[in-house]
Amino acid sequence: MIGRRTLAVALFALVLAVVVLAEAADKKVIRLWQTETEPQTLAVLNQIAAEYEKTHPDVSVKIEGLAWGDLEKKLTAALAAGAPPDAAHGQPITCVSFAAKGLLRPVDDLADSIPKDNLVDAFRNLCQWDGKTYGVGHSPASSVFVYRKDLLAQKSLKVPRTWDELVQVAETLKEVRDGQVVRWGLTMTGQPLFVNIAVGELLKTNGGRLFDAEGRPTLTEKPVLELLDFYKKLGRVLPPGWTGHSYLDTFANLANDKAAMLYQAYGRGVGYIEKYAAKDIADPDHFAVADKVVGPSGRTPAAQLDCEPWMVFKDARGGPEAVDFLKFFFRDEHYVPYLHSVPIHLLSIKKSTSRNPRYADNAMIRKWRPWVDMQEKYFRNDWIKPVLVTDWEDMKKPYLLEVMGSGILVDMVLDAVKGVPSAEAAARAQKRVEELLASSGYLKK
């Protein structure tokens, strides 16, 4: 027989379980999707969520990390299923597309919590639609060009400044032993998202554009043809199979001495260098950064702005709570540890945080300061643009997300790399984009 004490304990446990379940049912669960997937960053975000929940016992914050290349697909699928998260990161063009479709809640209340004069100028209007703010960037970064300074010095080479010089230097840096290439001069990714990114920034630095003032594609113009010719040349100096390499593969190639230069690098790459490169060269004196190369029809460098805005969905039950949590997130006591989780990549969107001694008191930032300075140079000179944006006016085009998702620009580049004449590859892409925009009602035939 079950003793009275045992029965009492069992009844108490049952009552406690019912109470806990009831309390859990009363909590409002806030779901956030974001693009930082490194374990240390997720740990910081979950700690911020735990701190928030202490003062908001009626709220439970659930944070999920999604890879860059997966985010837009999963958001689109979640919206189609009627089950989006309460808030999420998205590319700036994603934010504008969703805002134009009426899928987002304005976040002027979140934006207004950061005084305008405390924002870097380039990020102030990152996601605007019809005079309202629909996104606030979590952290800005710029793509950077990285080269092995010591290897260039060994061959008395100058840092390349133009597209043609990049190809020439890459060919000269290639190391062959016993008939095998042991180090390539250059590495790049062929991942679709990053091909789209490269098309935008290469066109910008070549004085080109993707669309005219009326929104018609301009893929048969000279700057685009020059870009495709450049990709043909790159295909001859990049490692075999480069079109299948992820951007993380390219970091590994650089850090493991399998490549001497990386065109599409990001600040998080220093983590790979610190982990995999020989200890005596794992520093910015060997892995140096320089201005991006300039195209034959261009004048200035150009880079991609990596600054996904926080978006809040219109029908989110926890919209107000999500905004309140994000205000909590941007407070320096929480925001600085977040930035320090990937210190050379996660830079501050707030000027005041950048000046905060607590932010500067970081060994990685001190060591890799040249990488931070290069990104800040791009911010100051307005040389950075979001994916597929060559001019800030492009942010008024709500169809850039559809163009990116269609794969048309990626096909155009890969066709050229495979040997299709540049004019033919461009004309084919031009027709396909025109048909896409016409079928979507964005372009009149």
Q: CATH number for the domain including 248? A: 3.40.190.10
Instruction: Please count the CA atoms within 13 angstroms of the CA of 261 that sit on its side-chain side.
Output: 30
The side-by-side arrangement of strands in the sheet containing 144-148 is 261-265, 144-148, 287-290
CA 188, 190, 194, 197: dihedral to nearest 10 degrees? 80
For residue 429, is it within any domain? Answer: yes
Are both 18 and 107 inside the same structural domain? yes
Are both 254 and 340 inside the same structural domain? no
Are both 391 and 280 inside the same structural domain? yes
Are both 148 and 198 inside the same structural domain? yes
Tens digits of residue pLDDT in 290-335: 999 999 999 999 999 999 999 999 988 899 999 999 999 999 999 9
Are both 150 and 229 inside the same structural domain? yes
For residue 18, is it within any domain? Answer: yes
Are both 162 and 22 inside the same structural domain? no
Q: At what angle do helices 39-55 and 332-341 cross, to 10 degrees?
A: 160
Are both 300 and 332 inside the same structural domain? no
Are both 152 and 202 inside the same structural domain? yes
Q: How many helices (H) and strands (E) does the chain have?
A: 20, 15
pLDDT by residue for the chain (445 residues), tens digit each? 445 545 544 444 454 444 334 444 578 999 999 999 999 999 999 999 999 999 999 999 999 998 877 888 889 888 888 889 999 999 999 999 999 999 999 999 999 999 989 987 777 778 999 999 999 999 999 999 999 999 999 999 999 999 999 999 999 999 999 999 999 999 999 999 999 999 999 999 999 999 998 899 999 999 999 999 999 999 999 999 999 999 889 999 999 999 999 999 999 999 999 999 999 999 999 999 999 999 999 999 999 999 999 999 998 889 999 999 999 999 999 999 999 999 999 999 999 999 999 999 999 999 999 999 999 999 999 999 999 999 999 999 999 999 999 999 999 999 999 999 999 999 999 999 999 999 989 987 6
Calpha distance 76→84 (Å, rounded): 8
For residue 375, is it within any domain? Answer: no
Are both 99 and 27 inside the same structural domain? yes
Domain that holds residue 148: 142-304+387-439
For residue 328, is it within any domain? Answer: yes
For residue 30, is it within any domain? Answer: yes
For residue 67, is it within any domain? Answer: yes
Are both 157 and 130 inside the same structural domain? no
Number of C-beta neighbours around residue 112 at 10 A: 12
Q: What is the DSSP string of 292-353?
A: PPB-TT--S--EEEE-PEEEEBTT-TTHHHHHHHHHHHTSHHHHHHHHHHSTTTS--SBHHH
What does the pLDDT read at residue 1? Answer: 44
Number of domains in the chain: 2
For residue 372, is it within any domain? Answer: no
Are both 32 and 64 inside the same structural domain? yes
Are both 396 and 282 inside the same structural domain? yes
pTM for this entry: 0.90
What does the pLDDT read at residue 69? Answer: 75
Hey, is 257 helix, strand or coil? coil
For residue 22, is it within any domain? Answer: yes
**Tokens (6 digits) for 203:** 């066109």
What does the pLDDT read at residue 12? Answer: 43
**Tokens (6 digits) for 10:** 């069992």
